[in-house]
Amino acid sequence: MAAVIEVQGLRRADAGSVRVLGLDPYARRDTWEQIRAVRASGVTVVVVTHFMEEAERLCDRVAVVDRGRVVAFGTPRALTADAGAATLDDAFLALTGRRPLHLEETRMEQLR
C-alpha cells in the first residue's frame, strides 16, 4: 500500500504503481479503499486492469482496448448497456468481438 500513499503525496497520476494481482480479498479491498481516497481528494487515478469487476468498482470511465486500439470508451454502465450485456465482462467480450469460452469451440476441438 506504500505506492498508493506515494501517489497521494506526489499528486501525480503517474507517480506510483499498485499491483493488486495476488492480493488476498482483504488486502485488495483495502487497496481499493485507498485508491478511492486518492480520487476523493481530487487526484486523477489511472487504473490498468484485466479485471472488469475492479474497473466497475473503481472507474468513472473505462476504455476498452483490443489489440492496442481503444474500441470503446465510456462509463461502465453505458458500455454495458451499449453492448446489450449484463456485466462489464460480457460487454468487453462483445465489444472486442469475442465470445465467452463456453460458447466457443475448445482448443482441442479446433485441433481435430
Residue 56 inside a domain? The answer is yes
**What are the grid coordinates assigned to 11, written together?**
499528486
pLDDT (tens digit, 9 = 90+) per residue, 42-60?
A: 888 888 888 898 899 889 9
Residue 78: its pLDDT value, please?
A: 95
- Taking CA 81 as the corner, what is the angle to CA 36 and CA 74, rounded to the nearest 5 degrees? 45
User: 60 is in which domain, residue-wise?
Assistant: 48-102
User: Do 18 and 3 touch, CB atoms closer than 8 A?
Assistant: yes
Residue 11 inside a domain? The answer is yes
Residue 112 inside a domain? The answer is no
Residue 54: its pLDDT value, please?
A: 86
Phi, psi for residue 39 in degrees, rounded to 5: -60, -45
The reply to whether 36 and 77 lie within a common domain is no
Residue 100: its pLDDT value, please?
A: 55
pTM attached to this predicted model? 0.65
The reply to whether 57 and 15 lie within a common domain is no
Q: What is the DSSP letter of 64?
A: E
The reply to whether 41 and 55 lie within a common domain is no
The reply to whether 63 and 92 lie within a common domain is yes
The reply to whether 58 and 96 lie within a common domain is yes
Going from the first residue of the chain to its last (112 residues), give the mean pLDDT of each consecutive group of 10, the final group possibly shorter: 40 49 79 88 86 88 91 94 92 82 52 54
